[in-house]
């Protein structure tokens, strides 16, 4: 009986050691996905949190040799932004999907 109980505890602890880090990682991943929510950015922009901070460096042709192929132009202010950007780096307006 003691042998079976010890074996069951070892199997349970091995499963815990294998499964627990995976579940913790997936929880962290989902938490990070939830934190990148666009509604948070929109609310912060509307409340004026971004008005006093200095603007980040603008993308120029010296930074990107072929700036027209890898950038998107903001419809509001005309600033070049990387293609993957959702919001403009200058005015923080939502970029249109192309």
C-alpha to C-alpha distance for 18 and 12, rounded to whole angstroms: 10
Inside any domain, residue 91: yes
Inside any domain, residue 74: yes
Inside any domain, residue 34: no
CA-nearest of 91, 77, 80, 95 to 38 is 95
- Asked if residue 55 lies in contact with residue 90, where contact means CB atoms within 8 angstroms, the answer is yes
**pLDDT tens readout for residues 45-75:** 788 776 555 555 555 555 555 545 578 888 8
Q: Please tell me the total count of domains within the chain.
A: 1
Inside any domain, residue 76: yes
Task: Annotate 5-34 with b (16+ C-beta within 10 A) or e (fewer).
Answer: eeeeeeeeeeeeeeeeeeeeeeeeeeeeee
pTM for this predicted structure: 0.35
pLDDT of residue 45: 77
Domain of 89? 53-98
Inside any domain, residue 68: yes
Inside any domain, residue 70: yes
């Amino acid at each position: 009986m003691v042998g079976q109980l010890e074996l069951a505890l070892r199997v349970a602890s091995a499963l815990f050691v294998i499964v627990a880090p995976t579940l913790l990682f997936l929880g962290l991943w989902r938490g990070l996905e939830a934190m990148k929510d666009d509604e948070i950015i929109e609310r912060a922009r509307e409340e004026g949190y971004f008005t006093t901070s200095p603007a980040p460096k603008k993308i120029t042709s010296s930074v990107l040799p072929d700036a027209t192929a890898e950038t998107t132009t903001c419809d509001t202010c005309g600033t070049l932004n990387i293609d993957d950007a959702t919001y403009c780096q200058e005015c923080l307006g939502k970029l249109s999907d192309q």
